[in-house]
A and B are shown apart, each in its own frame.
Chain A
Amino acid sequence: GQQVMQIPQYQHVQEGEDFTTYCNSSTTLSNIQWYKQRPGGHPVFLIQLVKSGEVKKQKRLTFQFGEAKKNSSLHITATQTTDVGTYFCAGTDTGANSKLTFGKGITLSVRP
């Protein structure tokens, strides 16, 4: 079945550093979504990418969908302590199945 992988599971950065994480799928995706979960909270939708090579920005966050629609990246410029949390990518397989499969997430900690 479809697998969405995020490696590593944890990353620690110094405040002000840039941060990039990647998401890889075993199958071609019709779209990919990114969510953020703060400690003790629930996942909150950040963005959806649909087109091959698509790039979207939200303030300091930049999201990209790979040309082959099998991978995605999240880049955070000049991290802040408010960026702390777990970032999940989630993909929908091509085909009629609308199931959203989540990666295991990457937990980001930021040293002030």
Chain B
Amino acid sequence: KAGVTQTPRYLIKTRGQQVTLSCSPISGHRSVSWYQQTPGQGLQFLFEYFSETQRNKGNFPGRFSGRQFSNSRSEMNVSTLELGDSALYLCASRRPARGLPREGYTFGSGTRLTVV
């Protein structure tokens, strides 16, 4: 079966611009989470969506936002980009499960964002 698909794979943006990243989860997976990965900070949680509702949110500024569509596809948006936003953005999906996760996440290959 198809895995988690993230587009685009690579992106170069200028400071001050905004960017939208896309994630298509595995078919049947309704929970989608986003993580920012940088060498110094590891994997930092951005937000989690389930059935089009944001269920959890990490400690990122309001410039970072996301949404989920009725087909479970998710997008995240970063406005007014800063140099420090350069990172690998990973999307992960899992089967529908309210409450505690019962199985592991399947990650996409990520979008490598470079802000210049």
Partner-B contacts on A (CB < 8 A): 1, 30-31, 33, 35, 41-48, 88, 90, 92, 96-105
Partner-A contacts on B (CB < 8 A): 33, 35, 41-45, 48, 55-56, 58-59, 90, 92, 99-110
Q: A42-B107, A103-B42 are in contact. Are A98 and B90 (CB under 8 A)?
A: no
Task: Give chain B residues whose Cβ lies under 8 Å from the Cβ of A105.
Answer: 42-43
Indicate which residue in B33, B90, B106, B109 contacts A100 across the interface (CB closer than 8 Å).
B33
What separation, in Å, do the CA atoms of A85 and B107 have in the docked complex?
16
What separation, in Å, do the CA atoms of A90 and B94 have in the docked complex?
15
Task: Give chain A residues whose Cβ lies under 8 Å from the Cβ of B106.
Answer: 45
| B41 nearest in chain A by CB position | A104
Q: A42-B90, A42-B109, A42-B110 are in contact. Are A102 and B103 (CB under 8 A)?
A: no
Q: Are B101 and A31 in contact (CB under 8 A)?
A: yes
Q: A42-B108, A45-B106 are in contact. Are A92 and B42 (CB under 8 A)?
A: no
What separation, in Å, do the CA atoms of A90 and B7 have in the docked complex?
25
Q: A30-B100, A43-B90 are in contact. Are A102 and B43 (CB under 8 A)?
A: yes
Task: Give chain A residues whose Cβ lies under 8 Å from the Cβ of B110.
Answer: 42
Of B41, B100, B108, most buried by chain A (CB within 10 Å of CB) is B100
Task: Give chain B residues whose Cβ lies under 8 Å from the Cβ of A88.
Answer: 42-43
| B57 nearest in chain A by CB position | A99
Indicate which residue in A48, A96, A102 contacts B35 across the interface (CB closer than 8 Å).
A102
- What's the least CB distance linking B91 to chain A, in Å? 10
Task: Give chain B residues whose Cβ lies under 8 Å from the Cβ of A44.
Answer: 107
Q: Are B109 and A98 in contact (CB under 8 A)?
A: no
What separation, in Å, do the CA atoms of A92 and B31 have in the docked complex?
15
What separation, in Å, do the CA atoms of A110 and B77 have in the docked complex?
39
- Additional 9 contacts, C-beta under 8 A, given A33-B101, A98-B100: A35-B104, A43-B105, A45-B105, A46-B104, A90-B43, A98-B55, A102-B43, A104-B42, A105-B43
